[in-house]
A and B are shown apart, each in its own frame.
Chain A
Amino acid sequence: MKLTAWTYEGPPHVGAMRVATGMRGIHYVLHAPQGDTYADLLFTMIERRDHRPPVSWTTFQARDLGKDTAELFKTALADAHARFRPDALLVGASCTAELIQDDPGGLAATMGLPVPVIPLELPSYSRKENWGAAETFHALVRGLADRTRRPAPRAGRRPRVNLLGPTALGFRHRDDVTEVTRLLDALGVDVHVVAPLGATAADIAALGEADLDICLYPEIADTACRFLERTFGRPTVRTVPIGQLATSEFVREVAGHLGLDPAPALAAPHARLPWWSRSVDSTYLTGKRVFIFGDATHAMAIARVATEELGFEVVGLGCYNREFAREVRAAAARLGVEPLVTDDYLEVEERIAALQPELVLGTQMERMIAKRLRLPCAVISAPVHVQDFPARYSPVMGFEGANVLFDTLVHPLVMGLEEHLLTMFREDFEFSDAAGPSHLASGHAAQQAPAPAPAPAPADPVATAACAALVAAPVAAPIAAPARADGLLVWTADAERELRKIPFFVRGKARRNTEAYAAERGIAAITVETLYDAKSHFAR
């Protein structure tokens, strides 16, 4: 039994719903108690879908348990088939129905329905959402792919590939598919089938006609891709094109498999990340200490973007899906950091608090943690939130995805810089010291003045440069936060004034480090000298 406040993943049948809802002409009949229908709102509200998920629920109650729940399931299945006329049916059970062991697959098999019925066995008490999505997609591909289909001869046509893994309710899947399709087009490659997102049963049947499979989201498509490799004897591209460098490698890998020239796709005049990152304006990003957590694929890809493309320093890396723990541990080892593989957000919070990063890149859960710890944060992975479905085009894959990532990862830090400008000019009558950082909703509202935050300062190049210098100055390395100074330590007025010149987002750490340094040495009064002695002591 595991104590859980927030979860990174839903149960496995929600993963199956993501597959079914992404597809067209598929219907999923779920044996489940009343109330499990809450999952419909994930799709209609978070993703703003304009159709109900193609799911029928038996919604049994206690009074049904004494009677024949198996009959209830058969009625629901027959009704769903009659009403929706799907090309294929998925049948399965949620956690409670799993316990009553009605065997939806077996029941469906006795009914002689005129369409393929694919039974799903998703163990709810040991597996989770991503695994459920992967197993469902695998079951669909195994059940519906026509094993006799092969690609037509290459002469006189462009090569074609399958894009595998995007689902409903996926983190930026909608735009990733568009971006990767454009990228492949520049390479002279057509997309044969995208699945599950947008695919029909007929599309799945035709998977064998592609020249190559591309595993865009290993969490969902890896199992199915292994099946396709075995069945059709062709390779899978497994480089996930997130970031400038990985996108280039992806293009070369696809081009290599298909015997194409990668140059036209690599030209990408709209790829702005390299220059944006190399421009002097970005110097202050150097060595920013970031903590990264998410699903394994996004976390590892973002870790590479952070280090090799933005010049950050990754101080922590982890994922919540144990299925990919080995890969994440290897990536963490390469970065020389301790990996964190857990689905307990309290453990993640503890690690972030201990590491004191300057930026958190995580899920909506880490966004909450970062708000509490008053750290800048950007969301780079599912679980998703309504904000992760922007109206604008916003992929994270391909060259445009790299541009998006530059903005996503740098923007919270720029905001921090603006806040620092404001506090630098706090003596100015227009700026109120009590206003505090306006971009971080306060976790300590009581300490904040109710007055609205001041308007951002006009950009002053000299001040910005001075500020960047201060921010870029090495700040003490992380230490475990010492107990507060119980009045034994006193800051002199000069030292207190000096401390206030340090940007707010590292000031707390500077204070703690200085106090720890003073306490260790028995210094009772902290002077400006003590502050700088401590700074040099903790300097990297």
Chain B
Amino acid sequence: MNAPALAPVRPVLRERGQREVFCGLTGIVWLHRKIQDAFFLVVGSRTCAHLLQSAAGVMIFAEPRFATAIIEEKDLAGLADVHEELDGVVARLLARRPDIRLLFLVGSCPSEVIKLDLDKAASRLDQRLRAGGVRVLAYSGSGIETTFTEGEDACLAALVPELPEAGSGRSPRLLVAGSLPDIVEDQFARLFADLGIAADFLPPRRAGALPAIGPGTLVLLAQPFLGGTAAALEGRGAKLLEAPFPFGARGTEAWLGVAARAFGVDPQRFAEVVAAPRARAERALARHRPLLEGRRISFLPDSQLEIPLARFLAEECGMVPVEVGTPYLHQRFHGPDLARLPSGVRLAEGQDVERQLDRVRADRPDLTVCGLGLANPLEAEGLATKWSIELVFSPVHGFDQAGDLAELFARPLVRRARLAALAPEPAP
């Protein structure tokens, strides 16, 4: 690890214009799978319901643990009615789903514009339903307040006040914040156990298993988009550790290393614990590196994972980032990865999608990471793309996913090479 002590000041292109991004409601698609007895009730419009359906795909054959209470014309006529209507919807929902232990009322653009106070509604319903074993919380996933992964941040921040207080005599514990696929969480849990670090995870898999928190808690973020959650945890007395995010062999080692140092793990012990999984990660990466090395890549803003992923691709796969766009650049959370990005990378925060596409067309990178609305049109222009949403839905963190992560970027390039004969004749 040779990160400079002080990150160089880099110019950042800040743009305002059309933002081609999801709103925070989209996080429900993975959060409802993660917390298995939670239900997400969006209070919004038909557009919200349609978004969730489109983002989740129509391929879910079970009844999903999310739904929308669609605001209708008559609800807009008088606000007093809306709370009664909402109570009615919640009663119907819980009658149908008695397995639900935690209900999130999720605010949307329309609910916020009409100033429907969902925090108040949640505390009213919570008082009524708590005796029956159902907790009710609220957060906003609206597009006016949250950009894509910020929805998870708002959800986890809403959970923080509910975390039990750790007794003052408790020995220090690690809290890993940010939803991870269960398989990845289990891998990390084993690594922390081997390091002798007592670790909890937020969000928990069941609503009843909220980890305790207090001044002895050290927080390690597993996702780079959790500014609100981090602030709430610090408000509860926890201390935040700053680290690169656990992508690839080096990223994961650095991330674990920050925790190990904070807990005073013997360096020798640390080296022993990470040696085998790190070697596995290196081996897996070595297969993809020849395909990625020297290839130029641009990121359009999407999930705030862009900077850590660009770090991984540049440092560990030899790719050349051209433009790295992110919806928000938080020096505090992105800093450690940013410091390891090659100089000369164009950083962009915010978005004016038309101008950004003009730059992509001028740069002609070998691979463009973008949303689903832009991928096929760019492919049709002859530019290879990688769907950014897959990076949020797939297990990509940690040593044992390092190869999978690299493969996600290699696959579009491999596919283009395989199908080269099908490519249209270049224009004369």
Contacts and interface: CB of A to CB of B under 8 A. Distances in A.
Interface of A: 1-7, 9-11, 13-14, 33-42, 44-45, 48-52, 56-62, 65, 76, 79, 83, 94-96, 99-100, 123-126, 128, 364-365, 368, 371-372, 383, 385, 441, 443
A61 B72 CA distance: 23
11 contacts: A1-B88, A1-B89, A6-B49, A14-B50, A36-B143, A37-B20, A39-B50, A52-B374, A96-B110, A123-B73, A124-B46
A362 to B, nearest CB: 13
Given A1-B85, A371-B61, A37 B45 contact: no
A501 to B, nearest CB: 30
Contact residues of B: prevailing secondary structure: helix
Given A14-B47, A52-B377, A95-B46, 16 more contacts: A3-B93, A4-B67, A34-B21, A35-B21, A36-B143, A44-B373, A50-B376, A52-B374, A62-B112, A95-B47, A95-B110, A99-B114, A125-B73, A126-B73, A364-B58, A365-B58
A76 B19 CA distance: 12
A352 to B, nearest CB: 15
B422 interface: no
A35 B143 contact: yes
A61 B22 CA distance: 12
Contacts of A368: 58, 60-61
Nearest to B389: A41
A124 B376 contact: no
Contacts of A99: 76, 110, 113-114
A513 to B, nearest CB: 27
B373 A35 contact: no
A7 B143 contact: no
Contacts of B72: 1-2, 125-126
Interface residues of B, number: 62
B109 A33 contact: yes
A51 B145 contact: no
A269 B319 CA distance: 59
Contact of B47 (A79, A124, A385): A124
- Which of the listed residues A14, A60, A61 has the most CB atoms from chain B within 10 Å of its own CB? A61
Contacts of B86: 1
A33 B23 contact: yes
B70 A62 contact: no
B73 A56 contact: no
A41 B373 contact: yes
B93 A95 contact: no
B25 interface: yes
Contacts of A383: 58
Interface string B3-26: 000000000000001111111111
A73 to B, nearest CB: 12
Given A3-B92, A59-B19, A125-B71, A45 B63 contact: no
B143 A1 contact: no
A94 B70 contact: no
A95 B144 contact: no
A40 B373 contact: yes
Nearest to A3: B89
A10 B50 contact: yes
B345 interface: no
B372 interface: yes
B191 interface: no
Contacts of B186: none
A5 B69 CA distance: 9
A100 B58 CA distance: 32
A128 B49 CA distance: 12
A517 B213 CA distance: 61
A66 B375 CA distance: 34
A40 B88 CA distance: 34
Contacts of A40: 20, 372-374
A25 to B, nearest CB: 17
A297 B60 CA distance: 27
A7 B49 contact: yes
Interface in B108-124: 109-110, 112-114
B82 interface: yes
A36 B24 CA distance: 11
Scoring B20, B25, B85 by chain A CB atoms within 10 A of each residue's CB, the highest score goes to B20
Contacts of A124: 45-47
B54 interface: yes
Contacts of A5: 63-64, 66-68
A45 B372 contact: yes
B376 A49 contact: yes
Interface in B88-105: 88-89, 92-93
Contacts of B53: 6-7
B229 interface: no
A83 B54 CA distance: 29
